[in-house]
Amino acid sequence: MTVPKEMAEKCLQMLLPWRGGWTLRNKDPRQEEERHVKANDRDYNGKFLYADNRIKTSKYHIVTFLPINLFEQFQRVANAYFLFLLILQLIPQISSLSWFTTIVPLVLVLTITAVKDAMDDFFRHKSDNHVNNRQSQVLIDGKLHNEKWMNVRVGDIIKLENNQFVAADLLLLSSSEPYGLCYIETAELDGETNLKVRQALTVTSELGGDISKMAAFDGEVVCEPPNNRLDRFTGTLLWKDEKHSLANDKMLLRGCVLRNTEWCFGMVIFAGPQTKLMQNSGKTTFKRTSIDRLMNTLVLWIFGFLTCMGIILAIGNSIWEYRVGDDFRIYLAWNEVLDHAVFSGFLTFWSYIIILNTVVPISLYVSVEVIRLGHSYFINWDRRMYCSQRDTPAEARTTTLNEELGQIEYIFSDKTGTLTQNIMAFNKCSINGKTYGDIYDEHGCKIEVTERTPSVDFSFNPLSDKKFKFYDHSLVEAIKLGDSSVHEFFRLLSLCHTIMAEEKNEVRNPKGQIKLYSKGADTILFDMLHPSDEDLMYTTSDHLSEFAGEGLRTLALAYKDLEEEYFEEWFKKHHFASTTLDNREDSLAALYEEIEQDMKLLGATAIEDKLQEGVAETIACLTLANIKVWVLTGDKQETAMNIGYSCNMLRDDMNEVFTISGNTVLEVQQQLRNAKERVLGSYRDVGNGHTNSEKLEMSKNDSVVEETFTGEYALIINGHSLAHALEADLERVFLDIACMCKTVICCRVTPLQKAQVVELVKKYKNAVTLAIGDGANDVSMIKTAHIGVGISGQEGMQAVLASDFSFAQFRLLQRLLLVHGRWSYFRMCNFLCYFFYKNFAFTLVHFWFGFFCGFSAQTVYDQWFITLFNIVYTSLPVLAMGLFDQDVNEQSSLEHPRLYEPGQLNVLFNKHKFFICTAQGVYTSIVLFFIPYAVFLDTVRDDGSHISDHQSFAVTIATSLVIVVSVQIGLDTSYWTAVNHLYIWGSVAIYFSILFAMYSNGIFDLFPNQFPFIGTARNALSQKSVWLVILLTTVVCVMPVVALRFLRVDLYPRLTEKVRYMQQASKKQRPLEHNLKRVRRTSSRRSAYAFAHQEGYGELITSGKNMKVTNPFSSLPAVRIQSSTSWIENLLKKRADAPNNTSTDRTLKQQPSL
């Protein structure tokens, strides 16, 4: 008996409903070559087993939650490791610890994670049910029926009404608006709230709202298979023996909302999981911090160290058993005698692996995630990063990268919308070789435009924009006189725009002519011009250079008269190319290139895009923090250079500005090598004196070595030269010279080239990178960098949706890095150092005890103390330090950008620091064990009885440990809050409360087998000698640390200590208010951003004079722009030389502040 194929496929679809589109022949929907959909024909479409419209974003079911979630959690190496230890503890022959010492923290961690996952999935289920049960009007059997979204099928015709969500990916058939237009909001797709226009085909728009005509519609759509391209759709409609081209402007995608349109009809093309919205809901690339990568290495080292300790103790057990073990069997009887000493050592090895496993506790990973989550909320809650103009707060879109914000060395920034406001204002133009926009006096001299300059009166035009200001009256006069070139110029600007033109039978001007209008970059458009326009092209090119030199954005304009016969022939080719599914885009591009030849040049526009507030100050401050800012823009070279001067990235006092503009590989290679040789000069061996040892060692094997020079250089490279520079044989040379320059500006670059530049730095430099942008063209760069920052600007939300952090203005990047980033790095490093210290001190006591207990794997501490040490006694203090500690306050962090450098050099937590903190832990463990051990050998109680029982010894060491680590975290804490006091001293109080409770009569009565040692804590801690031992142990553990830190701060103070000292000193005296003297920056370059930012202070700073600030502790004061870091270094040196001099303090307070 054979089963029909169709029946088998339907059975599989019922069993596997989430595998929409699965067939026996084609198992993966992504392998579908093309899709065939027939309107109003469920039987025909059902043969393809397309997915229905039900979505399922949840991961679990109530029955499958526990096994699947546990399986996922135990895929993490740490959880699997602790499960392995738990299994070992269940083996009586090797376990000297009860199973609950491991299972309690493990279950706690698994439970917390499971609850979090369950809550997340519950909301997913809730969201899925809400969406799947939405109502939609579906045309079935000639009538409209209300159906749930989950019951909608491919090929159905749906009626949408205003403000309704689009249920599936629909082909727009008709609408209530003229010409089949409708308006949609795509916020759920790309975050943009501005309305988009969609237009139905003329043949389907004639169906209107007639239900009978819609029911009779039997068109078939042949289109591309399901994919995640939101901006592209390729297909054809076959109806009434005609083929009609379908593109993205005919589609309504699921997740959109119908706006300003009474109704529309659409045909379902993709449904449910195959819609473009759901196809884009995949996981983003997981980014890991450098500390994460270092932690993985350190944990492996610790596991190796743990294994070595286990081997040493196992060998000791074998030797001890072989030599003297038999003598102790009367005292410590064995249930089963092991005659083989080696096997005894083997069992002891696993026993010590269990006992010493707390050197890497599971609570470490939980604490790290809690701290990162807290840091993310601090960014979200920061009111000073809130932009009131746009009602946009800062947002940490990831919780795993916060500390890396404190290690940034390279920033790659877009220009338009990131450094500038992306608000365009018509400023100047060139029409038929004549410029308009400048005003001149009677002598022909150009007059500078000021607020008092009278603007053109547009009152004669009732449609004019009241806010628009233009000062050249000659342009208006030319319009009034009927200048044909001027009229043609503005007609092109009016038509060649993002408008939806009415469709007519003939596309002609009032004179009956067919014209082609084109607007674009001059580098592209000039290649399309007729040879007869060569002189006009050169004249216009000069005007464009002049406009770009003033920082204006330019576009060239051209047109072409088309012969009717040629256009009809070309239009037939266009229709054929637009209706084919094979290479449609390439065919259309070739046709467009064909028709856009021999065009006539009209002129060019010059648009002003003003700088955002605080851009120059922010870049100057980041430069002082030793962060290199590279600008990657698609603008012309002249525009990019002028913006560089406006932002003070380029200055007249720079040693040299290199321009790479070669057209061939050899030219680019020669220009790069010449620039490198001129930069190196006599400074080849000069270093900055602060290179981290780990980075220095890595750079020995890397030819790309960043050097610091006394001179300052800048590099400017255009897009076609960059394409050659990024080739394999030149990329290292390009990176060499780029890293030697203070400023790098890449102009005329594509989105791909932006990502390639970022990837180049990541590939060869041991540095953390950050990319910031606001548009879709910045997404690849944002995703490539270690940290991606999105600006919620005028170009929509694509960059924000792809970013790790987002805010509204570029100036907020300064606070994100210098305050939040630096604090996050500082806190995480201190947390890790302290965590490893306390756990080595806690765990290695067992190691030393092993040499005095016959290597019997006996524990020093009580089992409950081992269980509770990391999750109760010491968890809250270290969390408080990791969340709230700060070495200096936010004002000082902004006033002293060089405080940021330790993160770049990775000096607060690295392999060297790890060895130091573990060495301190080893020393503490030695003191904790041997001082009580030595004292208890000959000490007696007050009544003369012996005090050295095991439980009293354990209580003494445990109490000493809790007090020592509490005092140590107090020494490590720089910023005390009520939370720190509560957690630190509260944890000590909780320890004593639990200690006395565990050894009390009441707990013994309830659990006699678990708590057999009644009164041990009371008897031990009532002895003065025990408290003297605790005091002595604490002093011996802590005093060397205090002495070393005192000597280091006194003899070799770091900038942090100096700033903290001044911060404390400033609190003791009343802050002095100073007036800020404004001095205009002089430059040979004219800045077109004069109205967009305040005047700079370059002249004052380069003179070396001190400056006064209005309020050094205001929330966001202005930064002073300076030519180099030598000025601030001199001030810091003066401050260090005379910290007690009041007048010096006052002078030093005048250094650059933010």
Phi, psi of 657 (to 5 degrees): -115, 115
Q: What angle do CA 99, 101, 104 make, to 5 degrees?
A: 95
Which of 156, 414, 609, 635 is flagged as catalytic? 414
Determine if residue 614 is left, alpha or beta; phi over 0 gives left, psi from -120 to 50 gives alpha, anything else beta: left
**DSSP state for residue 872 in the 8-state scheme:** I
Tokens of 906: 């990775």
Phi, psi of 522 (to 5 degrees): -65, -35
Nearest to 184 by CA among 198, 201, 172: 198
Tokens of 1115: 């929330």
User: Do the Cβ atoms of 175 and 225 come closer than 8 Å?
Assistant: no
User: Do the Cβ atoms of 637 and 587 come closer than 8 Å?
Assistant: no
Distance CA 566, CA 570 (A): 6
SS3 sequence of 775-803 = CHHHHHHHHHCCEEEEECECCECHHHHCC
CB contact set of 561 (below 8 Å; sequence gap of 6+): 513, 514, 515, 600
Buried (b) or exposed (e) across 298-310, using 16+ Cβ within 10 A?
bbeebbeebeebb
State the angle between helix axes of 911-938 and 822-850 in degrees (0 to 180), rounded to the nearest 10. Answer: 40
Nearest to 1105 by CA among 1137, 1131, 1084, 1082: 1131
- 3-state class (DSSP) for residue 98: coil
Nearest to 952 by CA among 935, 968, 965: 935
Please name the amino acid found at residue 793.
G
Distance CA 720, CA 300 (A): 46
Nearest to 961 by CA among 936, 998, 924: 924
Residue with tokens 């696993």: 350
Count of residues for the chain?
1154
Tokens of 344: 């005894």
DSSP string, 732-752: HHHHHHHHHSSEEEEES--HH
How many CB atoms lie under 10 A from the CB of residue 285?
Answer: 8
How many CB atoms lie under 10 A from the CB of residue 423?
Answer: 14
Bridge partners of 703? none
CA atoms within 13 A on the CB side of 863: 18
Q: Is 938 a catalytic residue?
A: no
Please name the amino acid found at residue 707.
E
The alpha carbon of residue 5 and the mean position of all alpha carbons in its chain are separated, in whole angstroms, by: 49
Distance CA 447, CA 732 (A): 48
SS3 sequence of 911-950 = HHHHHHHHHHHHHHHHHHHHHHHHHHHHCECCCCCECCCH
Catalytic residues: 414
